[in-house]
Amino acid sequence: MAQQDYYKNPTDEQRHQLFLDSLYEEGRVEDYQNILELLSPPPDIFQYAPPGALKNKHIGIIGGGLAGMSAAYELRKLGADITIFEAEKERIGGRVYTYYFERGKKQLYGELGAFRIPVSHETTWHYINLFHLDTESLFAPAANNFIYAHDTRIRRSREGEAVTEKLYPLYDLTDFEKSTPWNKLNDYAMGTMLYSLTPKQRTEILKILPEYSVEYSDITKLSTRRVFEMLGLSQGAISLISGVDPFTGALLDFSHDEVMNGIYTQDFLNTYRITGGTVNLPLAFHQSLMDSDPPEFRLPSYILGKVDWKSGCIVDGISKASHAQKVQLRYNKMKGRDYVEAFDYVICAIPFSTLREIDISPFFSNQKMQAIKELSYCDAQKTLFLCKTRFWEEDAYYGEMNGGISFTDLPIQSILYPPDHLRCEAYEDCSYKDPGVMTASYNLEQDAWRLSNQNQDRRILLIKRNVEEVHGLPPGFLDPLVHSYKTAHWNNEQWFRGAFAVSGPGQKLNFAYTNSQSEYNSRVFFAGEHISTKQGWLQGALYTGKAAANQLAMQL
């Protein structure tokens, strides 16, 4: 893997070099230019319409997450007056959810939503650079994390020797599997389908098209479990993979395209985070939208449209206006009466999981309505522990870790360790005796709802015991160390009802192109990670927001 020498605020050139180096190590530098081009932000909106082209036009945006905010940011350049309807009243950010344990202080925090930023996600970096946000690497050169599977604890390593030596004997593997080192067996399972495609065919992973090549289409129709079985992997090997990589295990029955997508753009290598909390990105958008003369725009302030942010407002109806070429939105303020407002254009930037219950009259296209009903969403749960000391950093059998992630086949699935001590120059600045915030559990799908659907005391107790087991600690060790905690269960988050979209077998072929198309004679447009080829990532939300703004501008 490429060494990350650029710990803070990498330039575009530095990011690109990191990405190119890691592709070189995988033997597919031919993908480099294709990936960067496909993940780059859509063209500037002025390529489709001049400044002021939307003066005196009123645009409604349903959803104030990153997709809605990026769309508003771009449309404001054309002079549109914009109303953003955001159901969440208590915070800004949508699926970006930074939680600070001490009010008014930003040192002790964790991320309950999206936060990782791969170096290849060009649209995300476009907006990070636009708002001059600081970033820092999540690469942990001395992570020394655990894998705890089948009641066996090993340390993670790049080559995976401990998996081969300690875990292989615990699973019912074939002779071929037993004789294949873990890193090669894992590459065979995860990468064979990706490498079966030509570089040109691989670009379809990041494209939304009416039709795809037969070779790529056939793979997207297969679940990851089915792919593993077609490759001749035994059920024992599938169990091993699921234990060592519980996120893959949680998503076995979804389209294998999800696995290929992450490997293709190296989403889990060379990742960064926004310093001080990912929420700084949506907060920067919000500040800009509320500013009558934001510094990011190099335009006279009189050209810019005005933005009305309506928090705590729930849209429950979308309809065509009978008297004009307008779209009506019906909304309410929780307990108040209904209001109806007409707009020249509307951008729908809420997940299909909540759009499903909105009254749509007349219906959108048949296939769009089917997608709203059918598109799969992944559940996820995250629990943060504020610990009085960083036991994981202690020089002890249960510690010696700095940053990184541990994996387990227990219900918690994974433990994430804070990266804020990665580059300490002096021991006294970064003692294990300092308080710290660990993500004590980040899990997906069935484990997420099984762990979450019990009372709080029982859930936190189970997470403590699981963390202790992963680290080899005696039961009760964490009881005096955990000072506070916070959980987000995304299926139970009222305005989301799912962590992120994830395609079932064949769903990209059936719905991706339809989902990206406008409705009501190009008066209603759609944005959000679920519309994108980067579902579950900041990249998907930001790209589709900017793209929806451009789609609208093309109508002028």
Are 371 and 383 part of one and the same domain?
A: no
Q: Could you tell me the CA-to-CA distances from 483 to 212, 387, 406 in Å, in that order?
A: 52, 6, 22
Summarize the confidence of residues 471-498 as an average pLDDT: 97
Are 369 and 511 part of one and the same domain?
A: yes
Token pair in block for residue 329: 């939105």
Are 404 and 458 part of one and the same domain?
A: yes
157 inside domain: no
Hey, is 525 helix, strand or coil?
Answer: strand
pLDDT tens profile 264-289: 999 999 999 999 999 999 999 999 99
CA-wise closest residue to 530 among 501, 551, 498: 501
pLDDT tens profile 297-317: 988 999 999 999 999 999 999
325 inside domain: yes
The whole-angstrom distance between residue 299's C-alpha and the CA centroid of its chain comes to 32
Task: Count Cα neighbours of 490 within 13 Å in the Cβ-side half-sphere.
Answer: 29
Could you tell me whether strands 436-444 and 377-378 are parallel, antiparallel, or unpaired per DSSP bridges? Answer: unpaired
Residue 334 has what pLDDT?
A: 79
User: What is the distance between the alpha carbons of residues 478 and 35, in angstroms, rounded to a whole number?
Assistant: 44
Are 288 and 248 part of one and the same domain?
A: no
At 310, which CATH number?
3.50.50.60
Are 409 and 306 part of one and the same domain?
A: no
Residue 456 has what pLDDT?
A: 96
Name the domain boundary from 454, 474, 492.
492
- Rounded to the nearest 5 degrees, what angle is found at the Cα of 540, between the Cα atoms of 96 and 54? 95
pLDDT tens profile 104-114: 777 899 999 99
> Across-strand partners of 382?
442, 488
Task: Count Cα neighbours of 327 within 13 Å in the Cβ-side half-sphere.
Answer: 28
Range of the domain at 184: 171-266
Are 183 and 331 part of one and the same domain?
A: no
164 inside domain: no
Answer for the pair 226, 218: CB distance below 8 angstroms, yes or no. Answer: no
Greatest CA separation for the chain = 73
- Rounded to the nearest 5 degrees, what angle is found at the Cα of 552, between the Cα atoms of 548 and 553? 115
Tell me the pLDDT of the chain averaged across its residues: 96
Name the domain boundary from 492, 513, 532.
492
User: What is the distance between the alpha carbons of residues 348 and 63, in angstroms, rounded to a whole number?
Assistant: 7
Token pair in block for residue 138: 């999540």
Residue 427 has what pLDDT?
A: 64
Are 390 and 480 part of one and the same domain?
A: yes
pLDDT tens profile 33-59: 999 999 999 999 999 999 999 999 999
Are 382 and 475 part of one and the same domain?
A: yes
CA-wise closest residue to 493 among 68, 97, 62: 97
Summarize the confidence of residues 474-487 as an average pLDDT: 98
230 inside domain: yes
CB contact burial 410-424 (16+ within 10 A = b; e otherwise): bbbbbbbbbbbbbee
User: What is the distance between the alpha carbons of residues 235 and 497, in angstroms, rounded to a whole number?
Assistant: 32
CB contact burial 195-213 (16+ within 10 A = b; e otherwise): eebeeebbbbbbebeeebe
Angle between helices 280-290 and 66-76 (to 10 degrees): 30
Are 337 and 478 part of one and the same domain?
A: no
At 432, which CATH number?
3.90.660.10
Are 437 and 401 part of one and the same domain?
A: yes
Indicate the residue type of 287.
Q
Answer for the pair 444, 379: CB distance below 8 angstroms, yes or no. Answer: yes
pLDDT tens profile 357-379: 999 999 999 999 999 999 999 99
546 inside domain: yes
Residue 3 has what pLDDT?
A: 45
Residue 5 has what pLDDT?
A: 53
347 inside domain: yes
CA-wise closest residue to 316 among 367, 350, 364, 366: 350
Are 220 and 205 part of one and the same domain?
A: yes
pLDDT tens profile 400-443: 999 999 999 999 999 999 999 988 866 667 899 999 999 999 99
Name the domain boundary from 492, 525, 542.
492
Residue 323 has what pLDDT?
A: 77
State the DSSP code for 323: S
State the DSSP H helix or E strand holding residue 191, giving kind and residue range, or none if neither. Answer: helix 182-195
140 inside domain: no
Are 349 and 483 part of one and the same domain?
A: no
pLDDT tens profile 207-258: 999 999 999 999 999 999 999 999 999 999 999 999 999 999 999 999 999 9
Residue 1 has what pLDDT?
A: 38
Residue 298 has what pLDDT?
A: 84
Terminus-to-terminus CA distance in the chain, angstroms?
47
Q: What is the domain count for the chain? A: 3
273 inside domain: no
